[in-house]
């Protein structure tokens, strides 16, 4: 396993990590979660990602049970939570969502309880909150750090401007600013990582824990022949992922990637993940899996990475053509 520093912090995360969105509680039970986290840990993964909203709190509870059962040395892994959406779904009342001091603090306490840990290594603002002053967010995160309840704080799907606003406030009051961002990043969605955040990487430093490296499974090639029962795109509530216009044009590209993968002696999934971590601005790519075989296949990305020569990267670009166009000055 390779380890990378999280932005300008001293924290080292495994370049591949493991998350529980959709899978924990909705698709898999404790036994499989235990098996998958075990495989991840045994292969050197040291970051497990979660959020209050995942399966409305049940995902954190499940991960908490697994962590307790494993009794791994707490110093050997990192675990996260994210707040913003709340965990009561349609029952959410005012103050049970968003980034107010009240919700960020209470959501942190709830996550600690569900995950059965004394502190969160990483704590994220799951989305920007346009209604809460950025000063309140930065002060709250700084306070949680001072209280020892979280170690690093960050953002997810914030714009570059919003991240820089948080840094401006942190600097003005000598507080700890955001260390990391969690954006979607895969062969279909590249703008934030390859365009919008470039100046932040250069001038301030920003760790990234990127999500959906396989675009929810699309980049494995599993949907090239249709949607199979039990896969994510077949699940009720995830219709938005199987919107035909969303999927069809993409499948055409994945078919070509599949061909390239076989020429390299790699699998499409591991090639797609290797492509993500080839970007040095990626600290870690968070994997998702419902089966042991999937996770083992995805871990092969580490072996595929050295095969990504300039020529191979160019061939991938020719297939996808998704690289953001940057100004020429």
Ligand X SMILES: NC(=O)c1ccc[n+]([C@@H]2O[C@H](COP(=O)([O-])OP(=O)(O)OC[C@H]3O[C@@H](n4cnc5c(N)ncnc54)[C@H](OP(=O)(O)O)[C@@H]3O)[C@@H](O)[C@H]2O)c1
- 54 is known as an active-site residue: yes
- Report which DSSP code applies to 174: T
Q: How far is the CB of 327 from ligand X (least distance, A)?
A: 28
In the beta sheet, which residues pair with residue 18? Answer: 48, 287
DSSP 3-state assignment of 267? coil
Q: Please, which residue, 34 or 135, has the CB nearer to ligand X?
A: 34
Question: Is residue 81 within 8 Å of 50, Cβ to Cβ?
Answer: yes
Closest CA relative to residue 92, chosen from 106, 80, 79, 81 = 106
Q: How far is the CB of 146 from ligand X (least distance, A)?
A: 25
Q: How far is the CB of 262 from ligand X (least distance, A)?
A: 15
Catalytic residue of the set 41, 54, 84, 124: 54
Q: Please, which residue, 140 or 186, has the CB nearer to ligand X?
A: 186
CA distances from 8 to 11, 203, 210, 248 (A): 9, 11, 17, 40
What b/e string do you get for 237-264 counting C-beta neighbours within 10 Å, with b at 16 or more?
A: eeeebbeeeebeebeebbeebbebbeeb
Q: How far is the CB of 202 from ligand X (least distance, A)?
A: 23
- Report which DSSP code applies to 175: -
User: How many residues make up the chain in this entry?
Assistant: 329
Q: How far is the CB of 310 from ligand X (least distance, A)?
A: 26
User: Tokens 């820089």 map to which residue?
Assistant: 164
Antiparallel, parallel or unpaired: β 78-83 and 47-49: parallel
Q: Report the interface residues with ligand X, using CB under 6 A.
A: 19-23, 27, 49, 156-157, 182, 211-217, 220, 222, 231-232, 269, 286-290, 294, 297-298
* Residues annotated catalytic, as ranges: 54
């Amino acid at each position: 396993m390779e380890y990378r520093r999280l932005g300008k912090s001293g924290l080292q995360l495994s370049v591949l990590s493991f998350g529980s969105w959709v899978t924990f509680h909705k698709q898999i039970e404790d036994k499989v979660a235990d098996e998958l986290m075990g495989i991840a840990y045994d292969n050197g993964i040291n970051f497990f990602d979660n959020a209050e909203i995942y399966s409305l709190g049940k995902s954190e509870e499940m991960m908490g049970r697994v962590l307790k059962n494993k009794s791994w040395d707490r110093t050997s892994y990192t675990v996260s939570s994210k707040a913003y959406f709340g965990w009561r779904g349609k029952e959410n009342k005012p103050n049970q969502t968003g980034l107010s001091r009240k919700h960020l603090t209470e959501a942190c306490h709830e996550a600690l309880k569900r995950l059965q840990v004394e502190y969160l290594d990483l704590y994220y603002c799951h989305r920007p909150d346009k209604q809460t002053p950025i000063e309140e967010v930065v002060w709250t995160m700084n306070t949680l750090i001072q209280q020892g309840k979280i170690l690093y704080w960050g953002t997810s799907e914030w714009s570059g401007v919003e991240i820089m606003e948080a840094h401006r406030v942190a600097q003005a009051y000598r507080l700890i600013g955001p260390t990391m961002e969690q954006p979607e990043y895969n062969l279909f969605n590249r703008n934030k990582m390859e365009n919008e955040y470039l100046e932040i990487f250069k001038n301030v430093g920003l760790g990234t824990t990127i999500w959906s490296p396989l675009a929810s499974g699309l980049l494995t090639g599993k949907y090239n022949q249709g949607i199979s029962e039990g896969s994510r795109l077949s699940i009720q509530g995830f219709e938005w992922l199987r919107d035909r216009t969303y999927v069809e044009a993409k499948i055409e590209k994945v078919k070509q990637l599949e061909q390239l993968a076989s020429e390299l002696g790699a699998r499409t999934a591991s090639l797609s993940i290797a492509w993500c971590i080839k970007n040095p601005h990626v600290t870690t790519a968070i994997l998702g899996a419902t089966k042991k075989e999937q996770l083992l296949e995805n871990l092969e990305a580490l072996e595929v990475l050295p095969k990504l020569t300039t020529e191979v990267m160019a061939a991938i670009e020719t297939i996808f053509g998704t690289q953001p166009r940057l100004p020429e000055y």
